[in-house]
A and B are shown apart, each in its own frame.
Chain A
């Protein structure tokens, strides 16, 4: 596990040089809508700003289902359900990751405010859900501990 964490932490320095350059080279039309500034933000505050969600209101109508203790940080199952009416999008932020914003899911035409995925987590962290509904932002968070391995790897 710590190898993964090391890899992940190292990312922060190199991505600006390596990854950002390759994003720019991407020739598909969707790259235009890809939230570059958000995904390249190194702190949660900046990531939230990129989503215009800095002032998101805590909501009990957002449920985050994730293990209390994840077996490792490579594939942490996270499911977010929003019961807030007219949920338009869900973003998932892993506070302590080198790049906290992991994903944004926009819903339309009857899809529910529900998404399930698996995330990489560099270490124990809060997982934060940001929900946009009727143009307003709501949030909830849950701590996920990442298991530390016993055999040094």
Chain B
């Protein structure tokens, strides 16, 4: 196995920093989109519900990579808007993962007991007050575990930007590969790097979940680390299917 020199390691770590930035910025944009679209899907006007539903179906329906190509190549040609590659990438990732996130927001809002909403109406809260003071505080701890899964998908999605020349981990790996003339070491290293990032992300989200649940007087479910992911998904499916026991 050829050794990586300090300079090559530096390339990879610069890439890690870019990947982290991409993840954080896209997650921020995605969260904003998710809340706006998710709340809009519960709006009383049908046109608002329809438009937000359309947005969700379009951005969930198409492929993130195709969307990214579109933003990189079609937007400048067709409309004359040339975006800095980094921001085009954040825009593409944020808009498409935000569409997935809107389903999480909508689902969590729908899971709040209807009596809470009715109590708000009875106390003549305005719709905005009901949303911010009653629904969201109770719904948002429920959003965190699925949001964690989505964030890991987003982290994995950031690797796509390397195709368009943004210098993330995967891009750094391609450079290192050319320098070394050998692929196995560097690709093994970056797979481990992504795994560690995903693990750290899960840890952070677990801490956030504990805090959020404590805020409304609940204890989080047992489980630890990455294993928690699968347990979560599994219970969600088996719970919905347990009614059909033969």
Asked if A and B are interacting partners, one says no
Report A's interface with B, CB cutoff 8 A. Answer: none
